[in-house]
């Protein structure tokens, strides 16, 4: 009898434990509810997917997963399937964000790899996928001096899909009669117009941000609908008010449509540049009222510094931290929440987000918004991560300033006084932009161009600067005081023949007018069904528009054909108050370009140094248009230029 009892002790004990657990369940359940515990809930997983073998930051370091939800306190996480491992779990004090390192096995196959979240109150699953990487060939190409960039504001270019004009989640904010509402342009519209861009000579498209923006009117940013009228709320049609950095704005399409655009562009030799914003989020991002970490933003919605725009202080080795703080930590227009790149979680989030967009779309380069307002040490880390995974992808930063010394300070390639090399590939040449506007727009002295390029020595690499004569931030060229079509043609010739990488702004190729924001963002004529005319076709352009289009197309064709215009060195040959002649030359070939910005004909005389290798008796012909041949005599050339005209002599 005793032996039998001893043999059955495990069974007896097990049954006793089960009975005790059953009796205790009501007490445990009551205790859980008494503490206000509820089952965990998953609202958002960022990033939603990744690739095996991709590294973040330091090579081989794990992916950092951020899960937004409810009731995540005291959570532990488990991988539901083999192939990923989870560690370094952290939950914020509010129980609304969970961070976890994800180590992805190198040989794991694409598929669904959900993450199980367990708390004392229950469980939840966070979806997470592993996807196949895109082929390197034909993707992630970067841009260079052989390219011509075309800036598109998706909402204002072409409406290719009317079904997303008034999406269900954001009803009532599309209205073409209101300048600051959505108008209906989308990614399908860009796809539809790729042949037009190819014909013009475009080789790269820069899209304003396509992040998902607020689904209703922006009550925090208000402007008059008509001059002198009352302030009214606006929409974030421009794309700079992100509420989700991992999805595409529904008015533009979706992620699949973006991928379709990238591949369609690549098939005809056009690259895609994404506009990214690491400095700030939109004012309605969920982070604003529920921050993932206490220091995710610099300040809070009710207690923060306003941006004071004093970016010159960032290159001042004598500036105090107190002076620098509003520049680096201030909220744009006192509205846009300033991301804190010194917060390790926020910094990693931004880096991963950049790598995700590149990897998932196959895009080729990045335009980084408001570059100076982010610490340069972060740009160093960010650029290092990009180059490690995608060596050919490059970045152009926005430093909207007229001083070459200030723009040059933010171009990578050299350590500055603080010992930091930002590694940012290049910058927009805004100093030259301002000079182009004054010279060819207003008719001021052409010497102003030379005064700017005389400072090229400040740049680590001036040949990689992106030159421009317009963007979504400034009034249209044709709205400059005194602007003419002849002046616009001169400006286009200059962009097409000078050092740097030319960037066009949609519509400038047909001399579209427009004042300051938002008037400078008018719809492209013919981009919408029912438009009175279609300026994407020659038959829909008036004589002035067709003249400008053809001039630019011819100038860009010459740039593509003549290597010195893209990759040659530059030599000034003749400089007067309203005339300028220069040579673009390589070891094999020389091209001479000359401008007359005066309102009367002018004769240009210039010596051709022997280093240009143009022999006496050689005849140079104007490749840009008609005109007499120019013969080299005694190492010199002399010819007359009509008023407001230019030549490209080969």
DSSP characters over 435-473:
HHIIIIIT---THHHHHHHTTGGGSS-GGG-EEES--TT
Does the pLDDT value for residue 363 go beyond 50? yes
Describe the strand order of the beta sheet including 115-119 as a list of residue ranges.
Answer: 76-79, 115-119, 122-126
pLDDT-based confidence at 60, cuts 50/70/90?
A: low
Interval 548-596: pLDDT, tens: 999 999 999 999 999 999 999 999 999 999 999 999 999 999 999 999 9
Evaluate if residue 36 carries a pLDDT over 80: no
Contact 323, 313 (CB under 8 A): yes
Q: What's the Cα-to-Cα distance from 468 to each of 148, 505, 518, 547, 561, rounded to whole Å?
A: 10, 8, 19, 20, 21
- For residue range 493-502, what is the model confidence (pLDDT) as tens digits? 999 999 999 9
Residue 172 confidence (pLDDT) above 90: yes
Q: Which helix (H) or strand (E) holds 217?
A: none
pLDDT of residue 65: 97
On the question of pLDDT at 30 being above 50, the answer is no
What is the reported pLDDT for 3? 39
Instruction: Indicate whether 281 pLDDT > 60.
Output: yes
pLDDT at position 10 over 50: no
Per the prediction, the chain carries an average pLDDT of: 94
DSSP string, 495-513: HHHSSSEEEEETTGGGT--
- The span from the CA of 352 to the CA of 382, in Å, is 9
For residue 331, what pLDDT band results from cuts at 50, 70 and 90? very high
Topology annotation, domain 567-649: Immunoglobulin-like (2.60.40)
Q: Does residue 14 carry a pLDDT above 90?
A: no
Q: For residues 505 and 511, what is the distance between their CA atoms, to the nearest angstrom?
A: 10
Boundaries of every domain in the chain: 2-34, 41-130, 149-561, 567-649
Specify the fold of 41-130. Answer: Immunoglobulin-like (2.60.40)
Once rounded to an integer, what is the mean pLDDT over residues 209-215?
98
- Residue 331 β-bridge partners: 306
Q: What pLDDT sits at residue 627?
A: 75
pLDDT at residue 325 greater than cutoff 50: yes
Q: What is the DSSP string of 365-379?
A: EEEETTGGGS-HHHH
At residue 32, the pLDDT reads: 44
Q: What CA–CA distance (Å, rounded) separates 62 from 480?
A: 52
Q: Does residue 626 carry a pLDDT above 90?
A: no
> Is 80 exceeded by the pLDDT of residue 16?
no
More confident residue, 394 or 12: 394
Look at residue 33 and tell me whether its pLDDT is greater than 60.
no
Q: Would you state the pLDDT for residue 241?
A: 96
Percent of residues, the chain, with pLDDT higher than 70: 93
E strands present in 336-424: 365-368, 394-397
Q: What is the CATH number of domain 149-561?
A: 3.20.20.80
pLDDT at 288 over 50: yes
Task: Identify the pLDDT of residue 58.
Answer: 53
Please report which confidence band the pLDDT of residue 628 belongs to, taking 50, 70 and 90 as the band edges: confident
Q: Is the dihedral of CA 527, 528, 534, 535 positive or negative?
A: negative
SS3 for 628?
A: coil
1-6: average pLDDT: 39
> Per-residue pLDDT averaged across 131-140, rounded?
96
pLDDT digits (tens, 9 = 90+) for 526-552: 999 999 999 999 999 999 999 999 999
pTM to 2 decimals?
0.94
Note whether 191 and 159 are within 8 A (CB): no
The residue among 253, 221, 249, 191 whose CA lies nearest residue 517 is 221
């Amino acid at each position: 009898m005793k032996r039998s009892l001893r043999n059955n002790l495990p069974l007896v004990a097990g049954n006793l434990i089960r009975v005790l657990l059953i009796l205790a369940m009501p007490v445990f359940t009551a205790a859980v509810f008494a503490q206000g515990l509820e089952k965990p809930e998953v609202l958002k997983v960022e990033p939603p997917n990744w690739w095996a073998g991709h590294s973040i930051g330091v090579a081989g370091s794990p992916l950092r997963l951020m899960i937004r939800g409810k009731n995540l306190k005291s959570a532990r996480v488990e991988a539901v399937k083999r192939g990923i491992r989870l560690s370094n779990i952290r939950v914020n004090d509010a129980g609304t964000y969970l961070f976890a390192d994800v180590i992805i096995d190198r040989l794991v196959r694409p598929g669904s790899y959900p993450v199980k979240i367990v708390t004392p109150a229950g469980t939840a699953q966070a979806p997470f996928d592993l996807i196949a990487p895109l082929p390197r060939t034909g993707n992630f190409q970067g841009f260079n001096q052989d390219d011509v960039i075309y800036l598109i504001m998706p909402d204002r270019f072409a409406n290719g899909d009317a079904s997303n004009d008034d999406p269900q989640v954001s009803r009532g904010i599309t209205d073409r009669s209101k300048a600051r509402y959505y108008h209906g342009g989308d990614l399908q519209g860009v796809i539809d117009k790729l042949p037009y861009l190819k014909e013009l000579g475009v080789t790269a498209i820069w899209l304003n941000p396509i992040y998902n923006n607020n689904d209703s009117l922006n009550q925090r940013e208000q402007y008059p609908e008509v001059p002198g009228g009352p302030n009214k709320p606006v929409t974030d049609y421009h794309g700079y008010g992100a509420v989700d950095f991992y999805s595409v704005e529904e008015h533009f399409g979706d992620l699949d449509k973006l991928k379709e655009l990238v591949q369609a562009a690549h098939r005809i030799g056009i690259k895609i540049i994404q506009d990214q914003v690491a400095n700030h989020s939109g004012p309605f991002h969920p982070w604003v009222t529920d921050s993932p970490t206490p220091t995710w933003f610099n300040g809070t919605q009710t207690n923060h510094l306003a941006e004071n725009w004093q970016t010159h202080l960032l290159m001042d080795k004598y500036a105090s931290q107190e002076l620098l703080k509003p520049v680096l930590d201030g909220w744009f227009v006192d509205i846009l929440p300033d991301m804190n790149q010194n917060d390790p979680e926020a910094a990693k989030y931004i880096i991963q987000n950049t790598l995700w967009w590149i990897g998932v779309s196959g895009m080729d380069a990045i335009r980084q918004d408001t570059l100076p307002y982010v610490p340069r040490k972060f740009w160093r880390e960010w650029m290092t991560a990009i180059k490690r995974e995608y060596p050919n992808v490059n970045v152009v930063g926005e430093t909207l300033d007229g001083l070459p010394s200030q723009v040059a300070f933010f171009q990578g390639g050299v350590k500055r006084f603080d010992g930091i090399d930002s590694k940012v590939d290049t910058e927009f040449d805004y100093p030259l932009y301002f000079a182009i506007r004054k010279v060819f727009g207003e008719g001021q002295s052409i010497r102003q161009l030379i005064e700017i390029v005389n400072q090229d020595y400040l740049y680590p690499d001036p040949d990689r600067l992106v030159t421009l004569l317009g963007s979504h931030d400034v009034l249209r060229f044709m709205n400059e005081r005194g602007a003419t079509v002849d002046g616009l043609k001169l400006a286009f010739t200059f962009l097409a023949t000078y050092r740097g990488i030319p960037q066009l702004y949609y519509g400038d190729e047909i001399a579209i007018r427009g004042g300051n924001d938002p008037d400078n963002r008018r719809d492209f004529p013919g981009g919408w069904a029912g438009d009175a005319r279609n300026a994407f076709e020659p038959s829909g352009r008036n004589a002035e528009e067709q003249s400008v289009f053809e001039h630019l197309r011819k100038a860009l064709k010459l740039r593509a054909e003549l290597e010195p215009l893209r990759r040659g060195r530059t030599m000034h040959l003749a400089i007067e108050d309203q005339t300028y002649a220069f040579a673009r030359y390589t070891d094999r070939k020389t091209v001479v370009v000359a401008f007359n910005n005066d309102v009367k004909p002018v004769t240009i005389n210039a010596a051709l140094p022997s280093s240009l290798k143009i022999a006496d008796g050689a005849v140079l012909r104007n490749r840009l248009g008609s005109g007499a041949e120019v013969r080299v005599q005694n190492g010199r050339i002399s010819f007359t230029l009509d008023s407001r005209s230019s030549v490209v002599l080969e």
